[in-house]
A and B are shown apart, each in its own frame.
Chain A
Amino acid sequence: MVVADKYEMVCGLEVHVELQTKTKIFCGCTTEFGGEQNTHVCPVCLGMPGALPVLNREVVNYAIKAGLALDCEIAEFSKFDRKNYFYPDLSKNYQTSQFDLPICIKGGLEIEVEGDKKWIGITRAHMEEDAGKLVHSGETITTSNESSVDYNRAGVPLLEIVSEPDMRSIPEVLAYLEKLVQILEYTEVSDCRLEQGSVRFDVNVSLRPIGATTLGTRTETKNLNSFSSVRRCMEYEVARQARVLEAGEKVVQETRTWDEGQGITLSLRSKEEAHDYRYFPEPDLVPLVIDREWVEKIRKTLPELPAARRARLQTLGLSAYDAGVITQAKDMADFFDAALSCGGDAKTLANWVMGDFTRLLNTNQCSVADSPISAKQLAELLTLIDKGTLSGKIAKSVLEQMYSTSKDPSRIVKEKGLAQISDEGALLGIIDGVIAANPQSVEDYRAGKDRAIGFLVGQIMKATKGQANPGLVNQLLKEKLSS
C-alpha cells in the first residue's frame, strides 16, 4: 500500500488464540467463559507462594495440531520462561510464556488478494497463559483511582502466533487474519469466538519510503478483537505515522491502545524500558521433548484443511468462488459433504446450500450447527426434484416447511399433497381446458407469437397450483398446439 505517494506500509501481527481445553494451562480450574468473578481460581492461577504449575497435556496436543496446520516445524525441545512485568492482570508479576525455544517455528500460510497469491511467513507460535480481567473505577486506566481484578481468565491457555512482517496493505492483513482464523477453526483447537475475546490481535505497523530496504520504526497496537477494529486501527495508524513523517518528525517506537469509541490509537507506554521483560527459564516447569511419534499421532487427527477442501470441491465441478463460499466455515463445509454423501449432483447441491438454505438460516439468525434441516433431508429434497416428484419452485416452499417443522421432505410432500403432476392423462385434461378457455393466445401462438405459449403454461401451472411438471407441460402443450 502506498501512503501519501511516498511511503510503503509494513505490517506483522501477533495473534493470541485461546485453546479450547477443559482446564487451564497449569492447573485444573475450568476454562469456561463467564462465571462469577474469582470462582475459577486456585492457588496455582492466583500465584500463591509454594503452588506449583503442571502443564496440561491437551494444550501441547492443540499447539502441535495448530502448528502442523500452519505449516510449522514442531520443536523437538522447547521450554517455558518467565516474562516479567508489573501489571495486576497477572498475580505473579510475570507471565509464564515461551521465549527462545517456542513449540512451533517457521510456518506460514498463503493468502490471495484480488487474485494475487502471496505467502505470509509465521515466525513462531508459542504457548502461554492468559491474563485476568481488570475493571477500572474510572473511564480509563489513567483516570482510575483503583481497579478491580477477576482472575477467572488467568491461566487459560493461549497460543500466540507471530507472523513475519510480510504484509504490505490492509487487505493483505485482513486476508491473513481471515485465513488464520479459518484454519484454526477447522483444526478445532479454538472455538474462535471473537466476540468473547477468544482471539485477539496485536498489530505491528511501520512506514518506510518506497524503495527502502530497511524497516521504519514501528508501533504496536494491542488487544484488538475484531477484523473491523484491525482495519480501522490500521487506517488510523498509517495516516498518523504518515503525518508524523511528513512533518519531519520521527515515529516513536511504542505500544499503543485502540480506542474503539473515538476511532483513534493512543500511546500506552514507551517501549524502550518498559519492554525489557528480563525473560529467564521457568524453574517450576521442566522442558518439553516432543518426538516424531507424538507429532505423527497428532498429524493423523488433522482434518482436511480449507485449501485442500476447496480444491476437492472444485474437482467435483464447483467454481472456485462456490468452493470458497462453502468452505469458508467448517460447519457449512461439513454440512455440504454430509449432504453430498447421500448422493446427487454437487453443483446443484452447492446452489441450494449457498442459496435458499443459507438464506433461511440467515433470515432466522440460525447457525448451520443448529439447523433444523439435516444434511440428509436437504439431499432427499434434491432427490425429489431430480426424480420429478417436485418442481424447483415447490421445493423452495417445501424447504421452508422443513425448516419450521424439521420434517422429512417426503413426508411434507405426502401430507400436503404437493407431489408434482407428471401423469400425462391428468395433465392433458387440464391442458385441454386451458386451450379451450384461451382461444386468443392459441391463435397468437399459431400465428408465430412464441411468447403466447408462456401465458398458456402459466395458466396450466395456476390451475395445478404449481404442481404440474413444467417440462412435461411444455412438451404436451406444444404437441397439442401443433396438432
Chain B
Amino acid sequence: MTRALRRLRTGQLLLICTAGAVALAGIAHVSAEGLDRPEIAVGFGALIAAGELARLTMPGNREVAPIGAAAALGYTLLLDLSQVQLHHSALQVVAVIAVGMIAGALPHLAVGRPPRLDAMARRLLTGALLAAAFRPLADPLYWLTQGEGGTWWPALGVMVVLIGLMLLIDMLIAAMLRAEQVRTAFRVALRDELNVAFPLGAAVASSGVLLALATHSMDLVALLVFAAPLLVTQVAFRKYAGIRATYLQTVRALSRVTEVGGYVEPGHSRRVSRLAVAVGRELGMAEPELLELEYAALMHDIGQLSLRDPIPGGATVVAEPDQARRIAELGAEVIRQTGVLDRVADLVSRQCDPVSEDPPLASRIIKVVNAYDDLLGGSTDRDRASAALERLRLGAGVAYDADAVEALARVAGRLLLRL
C-alpha cells in the first residue's frame, strides 16, 4: 500500500483525499439522518456497484465505468418515482455513489486487481459536484412538471446544461492529472481527453437523463429497461479497448524478434520506443501521433530481418549510412504489407534522413533516440549518458534535430535522476 501511495503524485493525492472526505461526509450524514426512500437508494446503489464491477480500461490506461456513471447520474437527477416526489439530499446521493462504488470494487480487490484510486475519486467527485448543483433545484423543477400546464422541458434543459458542465469539469480534472502523470502539456492532455471521453460521455449522459425521466412513469423497472442501450455501448467499448490493448502488446512482443534473432541488443526496441514516446510527449505530440511514433519506434529495426547476416551488435548508428537507409526502407516495406499502417511505414522509412530533408517529427525523434540507445546500450551510467548526449549535440541541426536532442536530454536527465 505504501508503495502504491508513493507512486501517486500530489495532484492525485489531493483528489483522492478530497473524494474521501466528501464520501465520509455523505456516509456520516446518512447514518445520522437515515435514508430517504431506502429501496430506491439500494436499487440505484446496486446498479452503480454492478457498473463498477464491469469497469473497463480504455486505451491510454483510462479506467471508466459507464454503467455505474450513468446510474449515478440517474440517481442524482431523479425527480420522482411513479409520480411520487423524491427528496433525497445531495449528501445522500454521495453516500449511495460511494457505497456502490466500494461494493463494486471489492470483488476486483479480492482477485488482486486493486482499483485505480484516482479514477474512482474522479468519478465520485464529479458525481458529488453534480449532486450539489442539481439537488437543490429538484423541488422547483418538479413543481414545474406538475399541474395543468406542467412541462418537463425546463427540467430537461437544466439536466443537460448541468451534465455538460460536469463532463467539462471531469475532463479538466482528468487532463490535469494526466499532464502531471505522463508529463505532457496541459493543452495537449485536454485535447486528448476530449477526444477519448466525448463519445462515451455522450452515451453516459443521455442514458442518465433517460433513466431519470423513465422513473417518472416506469417505476424501478426502468433500471433494467434502460440498461439495455448502455449495455450495448459497454460491450462495444470493451471489445474496442480489448483489441487496442492486444494490438499494442502484439507489436511490442513481435518487435522482440529482432533481438531473439540476434540482430539488435536485447531490449533495444523497447527502450527506444519508451524514450521516443517520452520525447514525443515532451515535444507536445498528441496521443494518436504518439501511438504511431510508438509503433514506428518498436519496429524501426524490423528491416534487419530481411538481411542475410546480422550487423555485428546491430547498432545502426555505426553501420554505413547506405546500409542503414536500406534497412529503414526494407522495414518500411514490411510495415507497408499490413496495408493499414502506411503512416508508420513512412516514419520508419525516413528514420535516417538528415534534418535537411525535412523528415516528420516522429522520424527525427526515432533517429535521435535510436542513436542515443546505440551509444548507451541500455547502460544507466551517468557519464556515458552525458557523453552520448554530447555526441548527439555535435550533430544537432545537421544529422539530428536540435529540438529532439534537447528534449531527449531533459527526458534522460529525469530518468537518470529517478534511478
A binds B: no
